[in-house]
Amino acid sequence: MIADLDDPGLPGLPDYDVVIAGSGPAGMTLARELSGCGLMVCVLESGLEKPTPRGDRLREVQSTGIHIKAFSRERVLGGASSTWSGLSSPLDDVDLQTRPYLEHSGWPLDRAELDDYYGQASERYRFPAPELYAAGGFDALRTKGEHQPAWEMLREKIFLAAADAQDFGQEWKSCCEAGDTDLLLDATLVELESEEEVVGGAIAQTRSGRRVPIRGRAFVLATGGIENARLLLDNNLGNEQDQVGRYMMNHPKNYCGILKLAQPVQSLPYYFGCQVGANAGYAGLHLPSEVQTQRELVNAYVRMEPLFPWSDNEGVECLVLLVKKCKGLLTFWTKSQGEAVIAMRDYSETGDDSDLSNTRRSALGTAALGLRVVLHLPSVLTYAFFRLSGRSPRIRRVRLRNFMEMEPRAENRVSLARETDPNGRPVAQVSHDTSERDRASLLALHEVLREEFERTGLGTLGPDLEQADPWPITQDASHHMGTTRMGTDPQSSVVTPQCRVHSTSNLYCAGASVFPTSGCANPTWTIVALSIRLARHLRGELQGSGA
């Protein structure tokens, strides 16, 4: 059943086996994995099927340090997957390991177990096949470029996306049309009722102010890295050791660095980005794991973006957005290319989360996009010519987009603000910023990049990031992690390795909030892998106890 909880004609709700708050990648994966296994499942989604003004007010947050973008906390069916670009990459081995110089580092699961769930996520949720990240996969495109640098002190890290990014709400809501799974829209979880370390029920509040009790045997918070912590704090659950909300991590990003090529090139699709068949992607550059460990660094990376005559042109970005709205046309053109390597001609093609790409769309808003295309027509026509002809102007300069890993630090945290939301609950206060180690790690990478670019004859890198003041890598990547971290010790973690809150018997957290460390990879593939793992655990726990 898919229903609006504010509908006065809605029949009485049953007692559920599993109640999931959130319909984004974590929550919808859980619902789909549990559907049809004999358990009654309920998904509570705070928003409706389309964005609403009230939903937008509920996503508001106060932040200091790195500013949290509003559109990184969508209150709509599908959650954050309704705005993401689809880029994915697995965590590196070093990300999972205990590193003595990083307090509380190390994941309580091994590489082989995580790889198995990556494979399942790929098979069932349209993530790129794991073998594409291995030798002989996407890296075969290295030979397509005019330069194949032999790196000595750098490693390549591949990032891939389904050409049509997954919207978990729209794509898999059909699992909630089965008789054993309910999706309740406009159902904002506001209270969790607990007694003697057991959560017995929840209260969901609707837009009209109705408070609806929801009964269940197990409850899962899958509301994002910030909201999971806010809900626990607001309900005074799981925070006996003052760990809830701490160790907030992100992947701060921004541009800094221009590579002036020694010789102009027309094509380096492996590094500059391209689409092949059903997948798009590129290879980023980072330091080898052994260098990170020896120098006590964390895992930053950069991607190389060619600068075209039309780069950063607002009209070009608007044209790309309009084409993406015509999915039929885009699909037809993509299929017509077959297995050809389609080189990227503008980074707006990746759907990266710019303010413009995430602006609410209406008929008037779409007309405004068209007007901007007209106002920038010379640049738009130049872009369109090179995009449709498959040709490229000679590329002489390449900018670096930097992505940082943040070490887990207790002072980076989510707490409760005095301000309240439309439901009368305190909003989240997020305070997080980069540390000296975080910045030193990216500076070390830039130092090696400068040496390697010159040694391989690729070109020269400038200006010096170390001289930048203020520090420029400060944009929110919408990757909110670590605030209910998993571990075996309740003194330094919030949830067990099975993602259950230490101090309760039936309350769980799903999503990036359970990450002990973040690596530099986009987190969604790992989120879905861990949700498949959690679903397996819940089936075992609940079916084995007489469900």
Q: What is the CATH number of the domain that holds 203?
A: 3.50.50.60
Q: Evaluate whether residue 161 is within a structural domain.
A: no
pLDDT of residue 334: 63
Cα gap 545→127, rounded to integer Å: 34
Q: Evaluate whether residue 115 is within a structural domain.
A: yes
pLDDT at 391 over 90: no
Which phi-psi region, left, alpha or beta, contains residue 358 (left: φ > 0; alpha: ψ -120 to 50)?
A: alpha
Q: Evaluate whether residue 310 is within a structural domain.
A: no
Both tokens of 91, joined, read 């965590």
Domain encompassing residue 52: 1-7+15-127+170-249+481-547
Whether 426 contacts 417, CB under 8 Å = yes
pLDDT of residue 339: 72
Average pLDDT, the chain: 92
- The percentage of residues in the chain with a pLDDT greater than 90, rounded to a whole number, is 80
Q: Evaluate whether residue 530 is within a structural domain.
A: yes
Q: Evaluate whether residue 157 is within a structural domain.
A: no
pLDDT of residue 547: 39
pTM (predicted TM-score): 0.94
pLDDT tens figures, 82-113: 888 889 999 999 999 999 999 889 999 999 99
Q: Evaluate whether residue 466 is within a structural domain.
A: no
Q: Evaluate whether residue 344 is within a structural domain.
A: no
Nearest alpha-carbon partner for 340 in 265, 278, 271? 278
pLDDT tens figures, 410-456: 999 999 999 999 999 999 999 999 999 999 999 999 999 999 999 99
pLDDT at 195 over 80: yes
pLDDT tens figures, 141-181: 999 888 999 999 999 999 999 878 899 999 999 998 878 99
Radius of gyration of the chain (CA): 23
The domain total for the chain is 1
Q: Evaluate whether residue 193 is within a structural domain.
A: yes
Whether 12 contacts 187, CB under 8 Å = no
